[in-house]
Homo-oligomer: A and B are copies of this chain.
């Protein structure tokens, strides 16, 4: 298969490259693209150096599969063109996620959505993926009616430069030097702030709206209410989420633990005696979403409320790993099918 990565020098692009290598994804030719500013960079893949080329419409001749990780504008500009050139697009951006005919897929949760042979598959928002890895297995058993979630989001979600900014600001703060936000809108070192996305008339920011809408689409259940509060914290690359669930049917913490212990891609970390629960430094670099702090909601007494805490690597399961897993689930020869759909 001939594969392209668009946005190869970004945090998600670099992670995608590593994951394709680690998972021995079948690749004949790999082409890497980035903005003119980052083009010319040389990245290593399977022991060989690959030059990153600037993106142009002619780049996709002969490409079967293209990963897009360069933001919504690039996906909107190039996605349709790449599909017309005959490739399947797996898009990490939000550009097409809510389009009715675009599958929005977490392979452990809704692999069936892939069967349609769509030419473009959207990778969900990172916070949504991590939330649903913990929620979907429970939803199947007891039917979630309401989600209240507060996030503790790593700076990696704002890209590689935001990660460097957290490092630089932390050094400056420790040395007593002035700390100036450049990439993120507010100081991130030893601070936290409401997610840096636009706020709508209802007071929700874009990240919170994504979590609500994408949850309903992926679980194919418009009756799920979602109250999300998205907060950035000075953590490098794993998101954490404090989650309250309300179910249609009672579900005990013990049942939840059993269900989650058997769920693929989930690891239960819930050692009360040792006070050991999911932590971002233990989720970072790993493939699993860690889930713990399982307990009954003490604010309602009917056994239908559950509290839990989850951490997942934002760049891996939250983005690049999920995209590669989607590619692994594509019905082969997917690209040939999709070509017909695109025309």
Tell me the A residues contacting B by CB distance below 8 Å: 146-148, 150, 152, 166-167, 170-171, 174, 185-187, 190-194, 196, 198-199, 202-205, 212, 225-227, 229, 231, 233-236, 240, 242, 244, 253, 272-273, 275, 277, 279-281, 292-300, 305, 307, 309
Q: Which single member of B174, B191, B196, B298 contacts A204 (CB below 8 Å)?
A: B298
A156 nearest CB across to chain B (Å): 11
A233 engages B194 (CB within 8 Å): no
B225 engages A242 (CB within 8 Å): no
B227 engages A190 (CB within 8 Å): no
Among residues of B, the one whose C-beta sits closest to the C-beta of A149 is B150
**Alpha-carbon distance between A194 and B183 when the two chains are bound, in angstroms:** 29
Among residues of B, the one whose C-beta sits closest to the C-beta of A145 is B299
Chain B residues with CB under 8 Å of A233's CB are: 152, 192, 233-234
A281 engages B191 (CB within 8 Å): yes
Chain B residues with CB under 8 Å of A199's CB are: 272-273, 275
**Alpha-carbon distance between A300 and B225 when the two chains are bound, in angstroms:** 7
**Alpha-carbon distance between A200 and B196 when the two chains are bound, in angstroms:** 37
Among residues of B, the one whose C-beta sits closest to the C-beta of A179 is B281
A160 nearest CB across to chain B (Å): 16
A229 engages B242 (CB within 8 Å): yes
Chain B residues with CB under 8 Å of A299's CB are: 146-148, 225-227
B279 engages A186 (CB within 8 Å): yes
A191 nearest CB across to chain B (Å): 4
B225 engages A152 (CB within 8 Å): no
A275 nearest CB across to chain B (Å): 6
B170 engages A275 (CB within 8 Å): no
A293 engages B229 (CB within 8 Å): yes
Among residues of B, the one whose C-beta sits closest to the C-beta of A173 is B170
B298 engages A226 (CB within 8 Å): yes
Q: A185-B275, A194-B275 given as contacts; is B242 within 8 A of A231 (CB)? A: yes
A280 engages B191 (CB within 8 Å): yes
Q: Which single member of B146, B150, B167, B202 contacts A150 (CB below 8 Å)?
A: B150
**Alpha-carbon distance between A198 and B146 when the two chains are bound, in angstroms:** 29
Among residues of B, the one whose C-beta sits closest to the C-beta of A196 is B275
Chain B residues with CB under 8 Å of A152's CB are: 152, 192, 231, 233
